[in-house]
């Protein structure tokens, strides 16, 4: 029986390595092959692509390389490159430490199945090779180099790489999938525990996505999700990894960030970008986004803890009316019950008449004359005391109680405005829940007829979230209101993505820049004033006035006046006033108010009534927090505290704020914070940073997330044990208390 052809030998898979071919062929031959025949067989084998060969000298430089490899790498045909083998063939990413081939050659021992890829400057495309080799010695035992074989596994490797990618990434959006995000979170938390670093986890859920699927179809839903992924990548940039967990749920992991001010800005940017209208094949649609934020190690040191905290924060943000963000806090565990109780109390308050209105002046910058008064809700609760709108309106909107409350407020405001001079309008904020409630326009018409108020003196402030709703319903509602003769203002302009083409045909009389644009102060390093100037010019082009709200500083007022803003609302002129005070001010006809530079000292304070801790020297006191703003607070419970005293307020859950006493009234002190507080996404305020659990662990306490209690710090509820050791987290201001 004759020798088996070499091609059939490989097809039969009876050889495990290309290097075994020649011995097998010789064993099957009737007589040993001549050297010339071996060379022919070797050339034939190389040209077939079944195997290629290489050789080096004792210094590891290439002395022979199969023509196929040389051609791919761009080398002259028939010439071996004068290169070290390990510089031409490098380990494939993820397959080695970058020195594997060099180490193999350095040991002067045989090796097999080393996966490498070509790395030549002029190569057409990298080849992926499975490499094997044996050391060569001369008759005296002197090492002369290596000889080996290379098998082309490029296609196989790319297929495996693609399969691995599909297992790690979402096929629709290209974002990381749930499996990859789980691995990334686990790996990040483990590494960051060792290096005492922080990371943030954002949970995102799309609002009204199911409506798009139901009305436009699943194909439109898929297109929408792809656009959402693109916008998320634009909003997050290179700051973190984005994953799609499935359906309309997304996750963002951001390393080395625990500043809740910065995280709040990122969340706002995500919400704003995802709320922009989308164009899909079946038409245009709008959705929203809710965000929950948890931060390791403060809210969890293990993945299960952190994801649960972010989920709870997301649930809370959706309950607060959607389109919001929320930081995790320990009291979220009980917030659902508190929310249900507030809903019940709100319903009773409507019947009991516990709601009142206050009015904040809107002042023309031409002559400091009051041209309108914005109605603001107040709730006087028997147990809670005075509850500001920021606290209860999200609950009212989520439960739709805002519809009867809003109707009452509209009727009361129009009745009050009827007795004002004809030159003064009443401005009424309108939520999306109210606007899209059936019969809203009819109720407005009914109230105007009942109160006999001139429709031109009623200004309805409509947020951008309204005009991003169902286009047909929005157009119908705006047209009907315009027909009634009421004045329409686009509120919170600049916080969303209003189409300029839509704005051009919409019946708005004014654009209102919202307070959060100016909080805490506005700088000009990012072109903020130029942006305001552009809004003013846009308004003038479209025949609309421009109003800026939330202005508390005289310096900012002057700059806005130069930018051409028509009217201002804020503490720089006046805070909200009771109806009786408004009547008195309007008795003389035109009402003018001189601006004051004390406005920035009167930032809006939220009425609070709860116990907090106060740390001074080596003492820990319990005091009552009466009200709170970004820049300061009023506390009660200590006697004989001199002005200028510095101490630390302990708000709980590791939140410590350095404060200085600015004024004293018996047992009550007004304090100013060294570092301003930031929004928590739900109308509340929180510190930017917290005491790090890593610092607590360094003081001898167990590493765990910050729990409930005052500070959330063991030993701090009754004494300052360990306080000097941990003081503040690395990003917080230095404490003036610890010695």
CATH code of 6-159, in short, is 3.30.450.20
Q: What is the pLDDT of residues 540-577, one digit of tens each?
A: 998 999 999 988 888 888 889 999 999 999 989 999 99
What superfamily would CATH give domain 169-330? Reverse transcriptase/Diguanylate cyclase domain (3.30.70.270)
Q: Is the pLDDT of residue 538 over 50?
A: yes
Nearest to 644 by CA among 665, 631, 662: 662
The rounded percent of the chain whose pLDDT value lies above 70 is 79
Q: What are phi and psi of 627, to 5 degrees?
A: -150, 165
Planar angle of CA 657, 663, 664, nearest 5 degrees: 105
Q: Which of 22-31, 46-55, 119-128, 395-404 has the lowest mean pLDDT?
A: 22-31
Distances (CA, A) of 179 to 19, 66, 204, 251, 378: 41, 42, 17, 12, 48
3-state secondary structure of 399: coil
Return the structure tokens found at 181. Answer: 């995000």
- Of 736, 621, 681, whose CA–CA distance to 319 is shortest? 681
Beta partners for 91?
A: 116
Q: Is the pLDDT of residue 175 over 90?
A: yes
Q: Count CB atoms within 10 A of the CB of residue 111.
A: 18
Cα atoms found within 13 Å of the Cα of residue 319, Cβ hemisphere only: 20
* Predicted local distance difference test score (pLDDT) of residue 187: 93
CB 616 within 8 A of CB 632: no
**Omega prior to 610 cis, within 30 of 0:** no
**1 pLDDT more than 80:** no
What does the pLDDT read at residue 340?
77
Delimit the domains of the chain by residue range. 6-159, 169-330, 353-600, 606-726
pLDDT of residue 630: 86
Please give the model's pTM, rounded to 2 decimal places.
0.59
pLDDT tens, residue by residue, 205-254: 998 888 888 778 889 899 999 999 999 999 998 889 999 998 899 999 99
User: Helices in 454-563 by DSSP H: which ranges?
Assistant: 464-467, 471-484, 500-505, 528-541, 554-563
Cβ-based burial of 378 (10 A; exposed 0-12, middle 13-18, buried ≥19): middle
The residue-averaged pLDDT of 380-388 equals 78
In CATH terms, 353-600 corresponds, of 3.40.50.1820, 3.20.20.450, 3.90.1150.10, 3.90.70.10, to 3.20.20.450
CB atoms within 10 A of CB 7: 12
**pLDDT value of position 525:** 44
The CATH fold of domain 606-726 = Thrombin, subunit H (2.40.10)
Nearest to 517 by CA among 488, 552, 544, 558: 552
């Amino acid at each position: 029986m004759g020798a088996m052809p070499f091609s059939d030998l490989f097809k039969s898979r009876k050889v495990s390595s290309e290097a075994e071919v020649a011995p097998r062929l010789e064993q099957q031959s009737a007589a040993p092959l001549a050297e010339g025949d071996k060379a022919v067989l070797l050339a034939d084998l190389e040209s077939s692509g079944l195997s290629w060969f290489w050789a080096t000298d004792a210094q590891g430089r290439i002395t022979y390389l199969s023509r196929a490899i040389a051609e791919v790498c761009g080398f002259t045909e028939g010439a071996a490159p004068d290169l070290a083998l390990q510089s031409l063939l490098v380990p494939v990413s993820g397959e080695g430490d970058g020195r594997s081939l060099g180490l193999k050659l350095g040991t002067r021992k045989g090796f097999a199945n080393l996966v490498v890829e070509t790395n030549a400057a002029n190569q057409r495309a990298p080849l992926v090779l499975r490499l094997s080799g044996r050391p060569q010695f001369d008759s005296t035992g002197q090492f002369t180099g290596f000889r080996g074989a290379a098998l082309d596994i490029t296609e196989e490797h790319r297929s495996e790489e693609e399969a691995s990618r599909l297992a790690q990434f979402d096929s629709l959006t290209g974002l990381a999938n749930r499996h990859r995000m789980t691995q990334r979170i686990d790996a990040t938390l483990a590494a960051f525990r060792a290096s005492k670093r922080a990371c943030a986890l954002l949970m995102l859920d799309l609002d009204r996505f199911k409506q798009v699927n139901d009305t436009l179809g699943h194909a439109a839903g898929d297109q929408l999700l792809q656009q959402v992924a693109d916008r998320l990548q634009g909003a997050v940039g290179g700051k973190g990894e984005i994953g799609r967990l499935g359906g309309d749920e997304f996750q963002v992991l951001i390393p080395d960030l625990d500043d809740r001010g910065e995280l709040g800005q990122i969340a706002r940017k995500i919400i704003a970008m995802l709320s922009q209208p989308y164009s899909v094949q079946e038409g245009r649609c709008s959705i929203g986004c809710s965000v929950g934020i948890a931060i390791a190690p403060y809210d969890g040191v293990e993945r299960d803890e952190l994801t649960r905290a972010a989920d709870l924060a997301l649930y809370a943000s959706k309950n607060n009316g959607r389109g919001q963000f929320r930081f995790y806090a320990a009291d979220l565990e009980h917030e659902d019950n508190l929310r249900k109780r507030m809903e019940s109390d709100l319903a009773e308050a409507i019947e009991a008449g516990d709601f009142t209105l206050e009015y904040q002046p809107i002042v023309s910058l031409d002559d400091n004359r009051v041209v309108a008064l914005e109605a603001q809700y107040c709730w006087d609760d028997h147990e809670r005391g005075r509850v500001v709108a920021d606290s209860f309106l999200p609950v009212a909107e989520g439960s739709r109680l805002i519809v009867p409350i809003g109707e009452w407020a509209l009727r009361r405001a129009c009745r009050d405005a009827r007795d004002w001079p004809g030159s003064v309008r009443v401005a009424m904020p309108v939520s999306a829940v109210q606007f899209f409630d059936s019969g809203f326009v009819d109720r407005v018409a009914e109230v105007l007829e009942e109160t006999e108020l001139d429709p031109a003196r009623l200004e309805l402030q409509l947020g951008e979230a309204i005009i991003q709703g169902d286009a047909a319903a929005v157009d119908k509602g705006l047209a009907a209101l315009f027909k009634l003769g009421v004045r329409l203002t686009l509120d919170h302009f600049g916080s969303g993505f209003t189409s300029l083409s839509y704005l051009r045909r919409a019946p708005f009389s004014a654009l209102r820049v919202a307070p959060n644009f100016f909080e805490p102060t506005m700088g000009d390093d990012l072109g903020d004033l130029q942006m305001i100037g552009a809004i003013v010019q846009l308004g003038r082009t479209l025949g609309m006035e421009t109003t800026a709200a939330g202005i508390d500083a005289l310096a900012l007022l002057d700059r806005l006046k130069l930018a051409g803003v028509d009217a201002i609302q804020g503490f720089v002129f006046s805070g909200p006033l009771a109806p009786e005070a408004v009547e008195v001010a309007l008795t003389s006809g035109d009402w003018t108010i001189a601006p004051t530079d004390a406005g920035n000292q009167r930032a809006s304070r939220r009425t609070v009534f709860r116990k907090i801790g106060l740390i001074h020297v080596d003492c820990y006191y319990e005091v009552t927090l009466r009200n709170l703003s970004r820049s300061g607070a009023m506390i009660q419970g200590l006697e004989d505290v001199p002005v200028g005293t510095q101490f630390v307020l302990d708000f709980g859950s590791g939140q410590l704020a350095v404060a200085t006493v600015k004024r004293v009234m018996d047992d009550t002190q007004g304090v100013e914070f060294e570092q301003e507080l930031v929004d928590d996404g739900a109308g509340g305020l929180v510190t930017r940073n917290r005491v790090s659990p890593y610092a607590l662990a360094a003081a001898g306490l167990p590493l765990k997330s910050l729990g409930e209690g005052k500070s959330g710090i063991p030993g701090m509820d009754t004494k300052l044990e360990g306080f000097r050791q941990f003081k503040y987290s690395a990003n917080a201001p230095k404490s003036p208390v610890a010695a």
